[in-house]
């Protein structure tokens, strides 16, 4: 959406990039909603949204669709949670857990899965649900979430293919930002993440807290350095236009 607005000159290139940064922080809400088991309210949101979009005041009906699709995401996650429950006693689970215990493999697996389903929220929710079901350890889940942050850039890259050069460069800039965020996650943030994973709270809440810390820290760092780097980035974005 940000790239589309930039393509139509409704939003500046700097504004579009700032929206992309903000979207990374906003998506952390999914992990908290799943951790606190709000996904069980999916059918309620679907019903209310459907009724609102059909019978609500006409100017407000589009907002009912937003509520409907919001509920649909959590209804799907709730169904996934129920389907995952029997896997907890599966002998094959140990093989998968051993495979994903490698941070690099967990990262790549989540990145590919996110690119396939085109939703980091789904993969993040799936990681938290897997921790709730004791299918994977929190130490594995946090790397899945980091991989989802890379995989979600595929949405912008695919969308930009049909837009102008500026949009494609913004998509590349978004990808670079997320990759740098994961590098920050894998290096400087590791001691803090280690502390969070030892806190006396539920394992799924540990994962949600790591997810929030990761994206919030990356956003703060980006906003701090953006005023100093934007002149160079702006020249690159607008070169050849």
Q: Could you tell me the two tokens for 72? A: 């649909």
What lies within 8 Å, CB to CB, of 73 at 6+ separation is 42, 119, 121, 122, 125
- Rounded Cα distance between 34 and 47, Å, is 19
Whole-number pLDDT of residue 160: 86
Say what the pLDDT of residue 196 is: 95
Token duo for residue 236: 């690159």
Among candidate residues 61, 209, 225, the one with its CA nearest the CA of residue 124: 209
Does pTM top 0.75 for this prediction? yes
Neighbours of 24 (CB within 10 A): 21
| Cα–Cα nearest to 114, from 145, 148, 76 | 148
Residues 153 and 175: their CA atoms lie apart, in Å, by: 5
Residues 159, 161, 166, 170: what is their CA dihedral angle, to the nearest 10 degrees? 50
| Nearest partner of 192 among 172, 166, 168, 211, judged by Cα | 211
Mean pLDDT by 10 residues, the chain (241 residues): 84 89 89 81 87 86 86 80 66 68 88 88 86 87 93 89 86 92 93 94 94 94 91 84 59
Count of Cβ atoms closer than 10 Å to residue 1 Cβ? 12
Cβ count within 10 A of residue 2: 23
What is residue 137's three-state secondary structure?
coil
For the chain, helix (H) and strand (E) counts, in that order, are 13, 0
**∠ Cα 211 213 214 (to 5°):** 65
**For the chain, how long is the longest CA-to-CA vector?**
58
Axis-axis angle for helices 165-186, 153-160 (nearest 10)? 170
Among candidates 199, 158, 155, which has minimal Cα distance to 178? 155
Q: What's the pLDDT score for residue 240?
A: 61
The per-residue pLDDT for 37 is 80
- Provide the residue ranges of all domains of the chain, joining segments of one domain with +: 2-37+94-238
Spatial separation of the C-alpha atoms in residues 186 and 190, rounded to whole Å? 6
Do residues 123 and 144 lie in contact, with contact meaning Cβ atoms separated by under 8 Å? yes
């Amino acid at each position: 959406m940000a790239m589309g607005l930039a393509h139509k000159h409704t939003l500046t290139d700097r504004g579009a990039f700032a929206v992309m940064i903000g979207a990374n922080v906003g998506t952390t809400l999914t992990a908290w909603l799943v951790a606190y088991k709000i996904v069980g309210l999916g059918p309620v949101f679907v019903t209310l949204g459907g009724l609102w979009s059909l019978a609500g005041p006409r100017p407000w009906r589009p907002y009912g669709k937003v509520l409907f699709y919001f509920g649909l995401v959590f209804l799907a996650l709730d169904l996934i949670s129920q389907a995952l429950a029997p896997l907890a006693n599966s002998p094959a689970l140990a093989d998968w857990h051993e495979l994903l215990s490698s941070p690099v493999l967990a990262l790549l697996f989540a990145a590919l899965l996110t690119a396939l389903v085109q939703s980091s929220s789904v993969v993040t929710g799936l990681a938290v649900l897997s921790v709730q079901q004791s299918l994977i350890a929190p130490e594995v889940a946090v790397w899945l979430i980091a991989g989802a942050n890379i995989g979600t850039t595929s949405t912008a890259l695919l969308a930009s293919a049909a837009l102008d050069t500026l949009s494609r460069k913004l998509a590349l800039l978004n990808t670079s930002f997320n990759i740098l965020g994961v590098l920050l996650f894998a290096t400087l943030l590791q001691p803090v993440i280690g502390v969070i994973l030892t806190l006396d709270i539920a394992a799924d809440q540990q994962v949600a807290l790591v997810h929030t810390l990761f994206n919030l820290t990356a956003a703060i760092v980006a906003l701090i350095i953006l005023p100093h780097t934007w002149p160079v980035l702006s020249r690159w974005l607008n070169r050849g236009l």
